[in-house]
Structures are given as structure tokens and as C-alpha cells.
Amino acid sequence: MHKASQSLEVASANVENPQPSSRGKIKEKSSENAKIISYKPAGTGTLGKALEVLDIIALSDVPLRFTDILKTVDQPRGTLHRQLSNLIEEGLVLANPDGTYDPGLRLLKLAARAWSKNSFRSIAEPHVRKLHEATGETVHLGVLNGLEVIYVDKIESNQTVRMHSQLGNASPLYCTGIGKAMLALLPEEDVVQRAQQFAYMKYTETTLHTPELLLADIQKVRNAGVAHDREEHEVGIRCVSAGIDGGENSTVAGVSVTAPAYRISEDTILKWESLVFETARAIERDMVVSMGPRSQQ
Amino acid sequence: MHKASQSLEVASANVENPQPSSRGKIKEKSSENAKIISYKPAGTGTLGKALEVLDIIALSDVPLRFTDILKTVDQPRGTLHRQLSNLIEEGLVLANPDGTYDPGLRLLKLAARAWSKNSFRSIAEPHVRKLHEATGETVHLGVLNGLEVIYVDKIESNQTVRMHSQLGNASPLYCTGIGKAMLALLPEEDVVQRAQQFAYMKYTETTLHTPELLLADIQKVRNAGVAHDREEHEVGIRCVSAGIDGGENSTVAGVSVTAPAYRISEDTILKWESLVFETARAIERDMVVSMGPRSQQ
DNA sequence: AAATTGAGTTCCAAATAATGGAACTTGCTA
DNA sequence: TAGCAAGTTCCATTATTTGGAACTCAATTT
């Protein structure tokens, strides 16, 4: 109990869940069920601590030196030094000649596989493409991950912007169309809980920057079936989004169409609402076929 | 040579680097042993073992179940089970409802940062783009990583193919233009050593599938300053490539132009040779400016 | 229906790896 | 040249990982 509690306690709070799992599965963390969700597992175990360091290096906006990392992570110098050595040895971190550290190439290689193997993404791809063709605007496909949405696919309307520039990027749930659409799929108490955990930032005038504003909007999304981002994350940018419920698969995701506000009329928005909604439904249907109950191999 | 320089080179690209390091370096497994390059560090330490499991999951072409992984990795069931638990808890691995495992979303998020933070890539980007504009064909940017080239950027000639589909992908050095161009930059004994370690596959009729064939070609590349892939990896595909020597930075990389053989004449090839060569030189110059001696921050 | 098998999970003493404090280098600065 | 800051190494202590075996549970087999 002593040690188990430390390594896997994330689920400590959400005990007793019927979980109709057939064969046992490995302690699945906060997926759909988790009543109490701990999004910040805080590096427990050797792996967790190593990843904590890796996160600091990867998520920083400026190159970090040894001491910078040391200040962020609460550890003795000797310990951090060895952790960095291990990360470098494994190719997860790159030591620059000037004494700073960068994320390593191995991450790219792993992620390339993670992306191409992602079955949800490949199932959704034709639908995403069709939506792009129907609207002519930028389309995003995102997956729920804790308090963020992670973009797993994207088709740009404007080809001058690099396509892949944003894949894998993460945005907060509360200020994006996809984020709100996904929240609306979750049980109310789960939404309430997450709403309390956001570190709200008022990106624009219309950003929903309190749990109350957010929860009220989520209710509207539930009724409408689609979510709107009315310049809530970036001035001048609007988006229409619909949530995708993976069901069995427990994946919660969303699609969206995004465009500059000046370019689109209310009529266009209405048209997009149904297009986006239908796209989400189509993806859900394909998911049941491909990964649903009783299938796969 | 100044500042701190802890380029520990465990499995880094350049063995045998005089490296006038001033401050001590991190760890450094065995400096006199640097002749023997261990590209397969074989999971040492807790982190290494965890990554070994992650690699198996990420690099497999089919979804793996617990037992499949167990057969590949030589470990007791109990141990593997806990390792998987840890990987799942950290978001590096995703447990599917059907009992199979996939690489997790956290990898995408980390890799997105690794990519956008990669200073080499961003320095090279304008040159890569220019080369694409000058040739109208597909341009690749790759970095040396052990026995492979990892593609860090790519501009497609044919927009119908998804741009990001290949980023992070790895190919063997011996059968790609960029790979051979990079090898040509390394000291001879290093090339010989790597040449012996490849698991040669005869992809096409012209694949250089023995160390002898490869070494002979590398010599030609050294003389010419550019490397050719004459349908050595894929039938009907040719490519012209030049190596990029990071110098101080110790990054070894390469650029290439690729096109279907039927579409290009010998004249075109000649023109590309100088374009590609010049692009590589231009990138090297920019690297010295941005990350070379006396700079940073 | 009972027995068997296969797949996954849990437990715990023993083995191994990580920790953290302190001493040690080294380059830079006052 | 003394002092300082940044980075590196060492090693006894502490904590985690290991691996074998026992256990659960469902799907076959007999």
C-alpha cells in the first residue's frame, strides 16, 4: 500500500467504478469515468520525474541552462544532473554546445509513429477533408487530454501557412470551440470539476474567464449540439465546432471550422453548424465500425 | 571553447571529436571507448527500460497486446505490467479498450515543441523553401541520428499528399541521398564502422547493399560534394543531396531534392547539384551566425 | 458441468537504482 | 588572487524496481 499508493494513486479518488471491462485492463487513468481527476500527476516514480524534467525543457519558450532547470524543478543539483544525463543518453534531450538543453530527436521519431498509428485520426481524416472541401476554410481535429485539447489534424485554408506547424499543439479547453464541444459531452460533475481547475486567462473581451460563464455556455452547447468560439481565444477569429463521442473507445474529440470573423455571415455560420454537426456524427459512426465493440482483429 | 560545453556524446553523431571542452562534460560513458559507437544503448536504467517498451509499442506496425510485447521484450510478466502502468499513467502509452496499446498523446505534444524549438530546422527553413521554389520539386531536410536520417522538414511538390505525413520519420543512411551526403562528412573510420553495422536491405536493383559498395560511393560523394540516390531506395525515384556540417554545433544534416526519374533530365540533375550544394553552404553560414562561437542569447 | 488453458494482475522479499549532501573543478569577476 | 557561480563527481543512505509465484477470471475443452 505504501508504495502502490505513491505510484498509481491518481485513481485513488475514483475508486469503485463498475467498469464493465471484460478482461482486466491496466489501471486506466482518468478517461471517461474518473470522478476525481488529477490532471497534474506530479512526477511520481522514476519515469515521472524524468518526464517532469523533459517537460520543463520542451515547454519552455526560451533555451534553458542547467541552473534554470534546477530552479524550476525542486531537486538537488546532483540528482538533476544525473537525470539530464539519462535523458540525453536516451536521446530525449539534446545538450547544446552553449550549455542549454533542447528536446531531442527521438521525440520526433516517436511522435511520427504515434501520429500515423493513431487510428482515431485516420478514421476521421476523410471526413475532415470533406468538411474542408465543403467550407473552404481551416478545419481542425482535436482530442481531449486532461484540461487541454491536442490537435491531431488540421487542414489549412491558406496554403502559405505551414500545415504541420500546429499538430500536437495544445490549447486550453475553456476558450476554444473544440474544447467547449468536448466538455459538453462529459457528465456535468466532471465539467464542473474541470471548470474549477482551469488557470483562466482573458485572451480577449469575450473569453469565458470564469467557471460560471463557462458552465452557462456549455449548457447552451449541449442544447445546440455545436459550440461557438466567438473571438474568445483570438480577436477576429470565429469557429464552429462539434464534439465526437468515442463511446466504447472512451475517446472524446471534436472537429471545427475556423475563419476570420469579417469573412463570414450569420448565414454561413448556420450552414457550418449543420456541416460540422454532420461531420462529427459521421466520424462517430465510422468509429463504431472500426473500433467499436466486437471488432478489431 | 568558451562557456560551458557539456556535449556528452554517448551516441551522438560525431564520434572522435577533438572537442576542446573547457568545463567538464556530463557523464560521458567512456571516452576512450568512443571508438565503439553504441547505437543501441539497450535500455539501461529505469528510463531506458521504459523507453524500450515504448519503442516496441510505437514502432510496431500492428497493434500489440500485453503478451505480444512480453514476447519481444525479455522481462517477467509482473515487471512489464508495472512498466506499462507507469507509461500509461504518464500519458506516453494509451490502453485501448480491446486490450492493445498505442503510443499516447503526450508524445505528440512533446514532439510539437521539439519541432518548433529546433533551432537548426528554423534556421534552415528559408533556404529549404527557396530550394523548393527554385526546383519545384519535393525538398527534404534531415538530421543524422545514429544509423538513420530523421526528417525534420519537408516541402512537397504535390500538394495532394499530406505535408506532415513524414516528419519525424526515419530512414537508413545507406540508401538515401541525405544519408550518404551526411556519411561523407564524417571521418573515414567512423563511416567504416557504421557501414558495418547496417542491416542492409536490397530495396531495389541499385541499392548499395554491402559496406564495400557503400564506401566506394561515399568516396565519390566526398569528391563531388553532392550525393545521388539513383533509385536506390525506391524504384523510379531519384534524388540529389548535399551534407550540412554543423561544425561547432556538432549537428550533421543534409538537404535534398527528390523527383520521379522519368520527369528529370541529366541537365536538370546538374542544375540541382549546384542548387542543392549552395543551399547546404547557405545553411551552414547561417548556423555559424546563429549558433556559432560567440553568440547565443 | 468440471477441468484446463491462456491472459492478465497482484504481492513481496531481494536486488538494484535513485537520492541528496557535500566536496571538488573550473572559469569568470571584482 | 580571492571570491563566486556554475557545473560535476562521489558515496552512504534510501527508495524503487525486479522477478518469481500465486491468483483471478473468462473462454475453451473434455
State pLDDT tens for residues B118-173. Answer: 878 889 999 999 999 999 999 999 999 889 999 988 887 655 344 444 677 789 99
CA B230 to chain centre: 20
The rounded percent of chain B whose pLDDT value lies above 90 is 48
**Residue A157: predicted pLDDT:** 67
What is the distance between the alpha carbons of residues A178 and A148, in angstroms, rounded to a whole number? 10
Statement: the CB of B77 is under 7 Å from strand D: yes
Report chain B residues whose CB lies below 8 A from the CB of A34: none
**B266: distance to nearest CA of chain A, Å?**
31
**Residue A291: predicted pLDDT:** 58
The pLDDT tens digits for B194-206 are 999 999 999 999 9
Q: What residues does CATH 1.10.10.10 cover in chain A?
A: 2-107
The pLDDT tens digits for B1-14 are 333 333 333 333 33
Out of 2.40.160.60, 3.40.50.970, 3.40.50.300, 3.30.450.40, the CATH code matching B118-291 is: 3.30.450.40
CB contact under 8 A, A7 and B297: no
- Number of A/B CB contacts below 8 angstroms equals 226
Statement: the CB of B4 is under 7 Å from strand D: yes
Secondary structure of residue B134 in the 3-state scheme? helix
Give φ, ψ of B190 to 5 degrees: -70, -45
Helix (H) or strand (E) holding B268: helix B266-291
Report chain A residues whose CB lies below 8 A from the CB of B182: none
The pLDDT tens digits for B58-98 are 988 888 899 889 988 888 888 899 999 999 989 899 888 78
Residue B117 is given by DSSP the state: H
Cβ contact B234:B258 at 8 Å: no
**Residue B166: predicted pLDDT:** 65
Residues 6+ apart with CB under 8 A from A153: A121, A124, A125, A128, A140, A141, A167
Secondary structure of residue A116 in the 3-state scheme? helix
**Residue B2: predicted pLDDT:** 34
Name which of A90, A95, A291 is nearest B47 (Cβ-Cβ): A90
Cβ contact A258:A239 at 8 Å: yes
Listed range (A172-181, A215-224, B149-158) with the worst mean pLDDT: B149-158
User: pLDDT band for position A130 (50/70/90)?
Assistant: very high
Residues 6+ apart with CB under 8 A from A20: none
Q: Which residue of B has its CA nearest to A80?
A: B26
Q: Which nucleotides of C are covered by protein (CB under 7 A)?
A: 7-12, 17-23, 25-28
Residue B294 clears pLDDT 60, i.e. is over it: no
Q: What residues does CATH 3.30.450.40 cover in chain A?
A: 118-291
Grid coordinates given for B55: 519503442
CB contact under 8 A, B98 and A296: yes
Cα angle B212, B214, B217 (rounded to 5 degrees) comes to 110
* B28 class by beta-carbon count within 10 Å (0-12 exposed, 13-18 middle, 19+ buried): middle
Residue A284 clears pLDDT 60, i.e. is over it: yes
What is the distance between the alpha carbons of residues A224 and B78, in angstroms, rounded to a whole number? 48
Grid coordinates given for B294: 560567440
CB contact under 8 A, A249 and B112: no
CA of A23 to C1' of C2 (A): 22
> Which sign does the torsion angle of CA A250, A215, A273, B160 carry?
negative
What is the distance between the alpha carbons of residues A88 and A78, in angstroms, rounded to a whole number? 15
The angle, 0 to 180 degrees and rounded to 10, between the axes of the packed helices A105-117 and B45-59 is 40
User: pLDDT band for position A155 (50/70/90)?
Assistant: confident
**Residue B111: predicted pLDDT:** 85
The pLDDT tens digits for A234-261 are 999 999 999 999 876 678 999 999 999 8
Residue A203 clears pLDDT 50, i.e. is over it: yes
Residue B248 clears pLDDT 60, i.e. is over it: yes
**Residue B164: predicted pLDDT:** 47
**Taking phi first (over 0 means left), then psi (-120 to 50 degrees means alpha), and beta for anything else, what does residue B3 get?**
left
Most confident of A32-46, A163-177, A212-226: A212-226
**B279: distance to nearest CA of chain A, Å?**
20
Grid coordinates given for A215: 458552465
Statement: the CB of B23 is under 7 Å from strand D: yes
Half-sphere exposure of A20 toward its Cβ, with a 13 Å CA cutoff?
5
What is the distance between the alpha carbons of residues B141 and B246, in angstroms, rounded to a whole number? 14
What is the distance between the alpha carbons of residues B154 and A8, in angstroms, rounded to a whole number? 41
Report chain B residues whose CB lies below 8 A from the CB of A28: 88, 95
Report chain A residues whose CB lies below 8 A from the CB of B29: 89
**Residue A201: predicted pLDDT:** 94
What is the distance between the alpha carbons of residues A255 and A250, in angstroms, rounded to a whole number? 16
Domain B45-108 belongs to what topology?
A: Arc Repressor Mutant, subunit A (1.10.10)
Which nucleotide has the least CA–C1' distance to B83? D17
The rounded percent of chain A whose pLDDT value lies above 90 is 49
CB contact under 8 A, B95 and A28: yes
What is the distance between the alpha carbons of residues A174 and A200, in angstroms, rounded to a whole number? 8
Most confident of A116-120, B213-217, B245-249: B213-217
**A273: distance to nearest CA of chain B, Å?**
26
Q: What residues does CATH 1.10.10.10 cover in chain B?
A: 45-108
**Residue B263: predicted pLDDT:** 87
Gyration radius of chain B over CA positions? 21
Residue A272 clears pLDDT 90, i.e. is over it: yes
Residue A2 Cα distances to A6, A7, A99, A208, angstroms: 7, 9, 39, 42
What is the distance between the alpha carbons of residues B165 and A6, in angstroms, rounded to a whole number? 39
Task: Specify the CATH class of A2-107 in words.
Answer: mainly alpha
Residue A24 clears pLDDT 60, i.e. is over it: no
**Residue A42: predicted pLDDT:** 57
